[in-house]
Amino acid sequence: MPFDRALKIAPSILAADFANFGAECRAIEDQGADWVHIDVMDGHFVPNLTFGPPMVKALRPHVKTVMDVHLMIAPVDPYIEAFAEAGSDIITAHIEAGPHIHRTLQAIRAAGCKAGVALNPGTPAEAIAHLLDLIDLICVMTVNPGFGGQSFVPLEGKVATLRKMLGDREVHIEIDGGVTPKTAPGLVTAGADVLVAGSAVFKGGSVEDPAPYGANMRAIREACD
Ligand code: DX5
Ligand code: ZN
């Protein structure tokens, strides 16, 4: 996975048709998605349940780009190997998910994946000051994790602080939650390069009629130009 800081849209399949995930992944990629964002929830770290490694594995043949796996689970470590073997390119764990995030990030890289750290809205940028050389991505949550379609928490200042902390390190800053053509530009200006979007990408479209997915992604990109 070569590094670049060009703007990337990563649709979250949390907003896709759950009975049709494979076709939905192909549809969003055909329509211009850069990455595919996969939200794993355990009903414990977050108050919602989605799916685990077998689903990620089943989706792998349907995703040509990057499988960006966001783990909203605790504990994380017992499942890293399974998510890596399922074909994840990036595995992101929450700093709030346990006392040993340093070990978790090392384990993700040791399993052959890019390592991401996610921060809930209430967690300050400085919390990851000692992790900067262990990460490939920071996921800044702009909603409280657990559900799609929630309203955006404005955290442009936090994004700008993180970008400054990173210096010239090759680390992506990803935004997750409430991304729309309205909220995206300020985040990109502040230093984000990956925008996760669920409802704003999938609204109005379907596997049978995927053109709205493309139009929705273009609307986000054009707002950020
Ligand atoms: C929330 C998830 C997000 C979610 C974003 O816990 O991590 O990826 O799907 O959904 P929207 O874009 O609808 O806020
Ligand atoms: Zn997510």
One-letter identity of residue 39:
D
Residues 6+ away with beta carbon under 8 Å from 34: 8, 9, 10, 65, 66, 194
Ligand 1 site residues (CB inside 6 A) read: 12, 14-15, 37, 39, 70, 143, 145-146, 148-150, 176-179, 196-200
| Parallel, antiparallel or unpaired: strands 137-141 and 66-72 | unpaired
For the segment 80-116, what is each residue's pLDDT rounded down to a tens digit? Answer: 999 999 999 999 999 999 999 999 999 999 999 999 9
For the segment 39-83, what is each residue's pLDDT rounded down to a tens digit? Answer: 999 999 999 999 999 999 999 999 999 999 999 999 999 999 999
Which one-letter DSSP state was computed for residue 45? S
Residues 6+ away with beta carbon under 8 Å from 209: none
Q: Where are the beta strands (DSSP E) in 47-127?
A: 66-72, 90-94, 114-119
Q: Is 88 exposed, middle or buried (0-12, 13-18, 19+ CB in 10 A)?
A: buried
Single pTM value for the model: 0.98
Q: Is 176 a catalytic residue?
A: yes
Q: Is 3 exposed, middle or buried (0-12, 13-18, 19+ CB in 10 A)?
A: exposed
Please report, to the nearest 10 degrees, the dihedral formed by the alpha carbons of residues 35, 170, 106, 56 taken in order: 0
Q: Do 217 and 186 meet the contact criterion of CB atoms below 8 Å apart?
A: no
For the segment 123-165, what is each residue's pLDDT rounded down to a tens digit? Answer: 999 999 999 999 999 999 999 999 999 999 999 999 999 999 9
Ligand 1 mean position to 175 CA, how many Å? 10
The phi, psi pair for 219, rounded to 5°, reads -60, -40
Q: Which of 39, 68, 136, 193 is catalytic?
A: 39
